[in-house]
Amino acid sequence: TELNKTGKEQAEIVGRRLRKLKFDHIYTSDLSRAKKTAEAINKHHPDTPFALDIRLRERDIGKLGGKSIQDASNLIKEEGTKWDDYGESEEDFKGRVVDFFNDMIVTHLPKNYPGSSSQNKRNSHILLVTHGGVINKLIKGHLIMDLNFSVNNNLNMKHNAKNTSVTKFVVRGAENPNSTADDVTSVVSSNTVENETNDGASEKITLRLKGEVTLWSCVSHLAAQGKRTHDDSQIDDYA
């Protein structure tokens, strides 16, 4: 679906809120609402590389897609099913989100990290524009639950990500060839990450990661629209 009037206003507001920050790359879902929001941000960063990635799409819910919550709930009741019975499985959904995260890490970790394909000499600042389900799956389901990233004590992780809210996480890492698939508290995922070598072959690397979620679902930039606010003092903090 397309952004409505409120959605367009919120996209413009978050674009202005982030205009002074520097991003090395912007990735967005190719679905219209996320893409339009990303474009509203990107116009303040015209020289920043901008890429669409279908792995950042919201979970596919099959024939429930495009229906109102009420209509979808009525159909589920009529068919005696559950939300999870439709479309993409939770396992497949998480799998593609983690796959995107793995590729992003290998691409953008500074080149001094073994296994990185980046030529960056410093840490990259990456902007992801995606959907609430993807954000929840990546942050709560993978970074916190799987990789054991620390969480700012002031965060309220109980609520889900809100429209045009800002969430920040920091990733640090180094290769550990002795890591095993059971070491999911620090490995990118339970699978190794394939990296293409100069001769076109694929080599498998395993990166140990650590990091933290420093800001969760901040919407203080929407205060003028009467939205519930959270402290956003850390949005500008890259330390």
Name the band, by pLDDT with cuts 50, 70 and 90, for residue 209.
Answer: confident
What three-state secondary structure class fits 70? helix
The response to whether 33 counts as a known ligand-binding position is yes
73-91 pLDDT, tens per residue? Answer: 888 888 888 888 888 999 9
What three-state secondary structure class fits 55? helix
CATH 3.40.50.11030, applies to 5-225: no
Domain chopping of the chain, boundaries: 5-225
74: its two tokens: 């009525």
Contact (CB, 8 A) for 165 and 219: yes
How far apart CA 201 and CA 61 sit, in angstroms, is: 36
Q: What percent of the chain has pLDDT over 90?
A: 38
Enter the pTM of the model.
Answer: 0.80
161-193 pLDDT, tens per residue? Answer: 888 899 999 887 654 544 443 333 333 333 334
Angle at 122 between CA 113 and CA 213, to 5 degrees: 80
131-170 pLDDT, tens per residue? Answer: 999 999 999 999 999 888 989 866 677 788 888 899 999 8
